[in-house]
């Protein structure tokens, strides 16, 4: 099983992001026709809270149990807006949308999820948590320039999301791309 914990972004953000992805796809094809970018399907858009990676079913059950109780962090709103690429200032590997409000609350959620899961599934990365909405993954940049690709989209607003829960997903890979299956959910505190 390949597992991760994420926030669902909802239909409004999926719709807006889908339109942006189509626009960026056209720009990429025109400005760098040999670049290879895998664009995220709208129904797969999410904000990753914790990537767990490979786990056997027994560990998956323990993780699901660890996330069964509500989190202490209260539900909150966040706004997804702006675009960028990782790594900054170099050949792009990821095209993303950012978070302009609610970022501190999302970081609290990530810390709380981490405290529940660290003993079961230690973090796979040592870098600081930088939440974002992945729009595309660049397989081969072949002349793709972030400034040209993202021109005029740096402040685009994708919408607001009410974060009331996090979901444990299994990612099943196939030749047609990943399929995400919800395995469990942890609600946030309701005030």
The tokens describing 164, both together, are: 């009331």
Q: Is 132 a catalytic residue?
A: yes
Classify burial at 39, counting beta carbons within 10 Å of its beta carbon; exposed 0-12, middle 13-18, buried 19 or more.
middle
CB atoms within 10 A of CB 114: 16
Cα–Cα dist 108/103, whole Å: 9
Residue of 34, 46, 105, 190 marked catalytic:
46
Residue of 34, 105, 130, 132 marked catalytic:
132
Q: Is 105 a catalytic residue?
A: no
Task: Give the residue numbers marked as catalytic.
Answer: 46, 132
């Amino acid at each position: 099983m390949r597992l991760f914990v994420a926030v669902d972004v909802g239909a409004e953000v999926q719709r807006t992001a889908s339109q942006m992805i189509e626009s960026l796809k056209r720009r990429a094809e025109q400005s760098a026709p040999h670049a290879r970018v895998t664009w995220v399907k709208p129904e797969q858009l999410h904000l990753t809270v914790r990537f767990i990676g490979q786990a056997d079913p027994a560990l998956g059950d323990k993780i699901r149990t660890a996330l069964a109780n509500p989190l202490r962090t209260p539900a909150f709103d966040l706004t997804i807006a702006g675009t960028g690429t990782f790594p900054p200032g170099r050949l792009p590997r990821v095209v993303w949308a950012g978070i302009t409000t609610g970022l501190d609350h999302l970081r609290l959620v990530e810390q709380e999820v981490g405290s529940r899961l660290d003993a079961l599934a230690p973090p796979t990365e040592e870098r600081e948590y930088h939440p974002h909405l992945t729009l595309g993954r660049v397989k081969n940049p072949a002349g793709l320039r972030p400034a040209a690709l993202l021109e005029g989209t740096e402040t685009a607003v994708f919408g607001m999301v009410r974060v009331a829960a996090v979901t444990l997903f299994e990612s099943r890979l196939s030749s047609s791309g990943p399929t995400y299956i919800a395995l469990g959910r942890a609600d946030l505190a309701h005030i």
